[in-house]
Amino acid sequence: MTFFEMTKTALRTILSRPATILYPAQAAKKTGLSRGHVTIDPARCISCGTCQRKCPAQAILISKEAKTWQIDRFRCVVCNSCVDTCPVKCLFMDTQYSAPATAKGVEVVAITYVKPVKPPAGKTESTG
């Protein structure tokens, strides 16, 4: 009896449509809530390290000395914690599908943020 049940299931599977899409041949359906991958705007990042501390998978590493931000795409679980906790909102979730990860899966981005120059304290300009 088990053989006939297995044969019935196998024939039904062969004759039916696939349960999944044929990505990348067919584009996946995207919505506003779709999460693709974490991206950064290096001109806004202040190297505070909040994203690194809040990442549950420990996929993000910030080097303040080298001024780099790196993410291990294989460790990232796309949970959005880093995006939610970033104080300057330089991280966001890109909804576009990216190419397959490289052998290492580590992406390194150079931080280009320049701290604004404050005017010297105690000196006030008088207009007159």
Q: Is 31 helix (H, G, I), strand (E, B) or coil?
A: coil
- Tell me, what's the pLDDT at 88? 94
pTM of this structure: 0.65
Please work out, in degrees rounded to the nearest 5, the angle formed at the alpha carbon of residue 92 by the alpha carbons of 77 and 85.
75
pLDDT in tens, 89-127: 999 988 776 666 666 778 888 888 777 788 888 666 555
CATH class of 34-114: alpha beta
Q: Please report, for the chain, the start and end positions of each structural domain, with discontinuous segments joined by +.
A: 34-114
Please indicate whether residue 32 or residue 62 has the higher confidence score (pLDDT): 62
Q: Which two tokens stand for residue 33?
A: 């809530």
pLDDT in tens, 80-92: 899 999 999 999 9
Q: From residue 68, how far is each of 48, 84, 124 by CA, in Å? A: 12, 20, 37
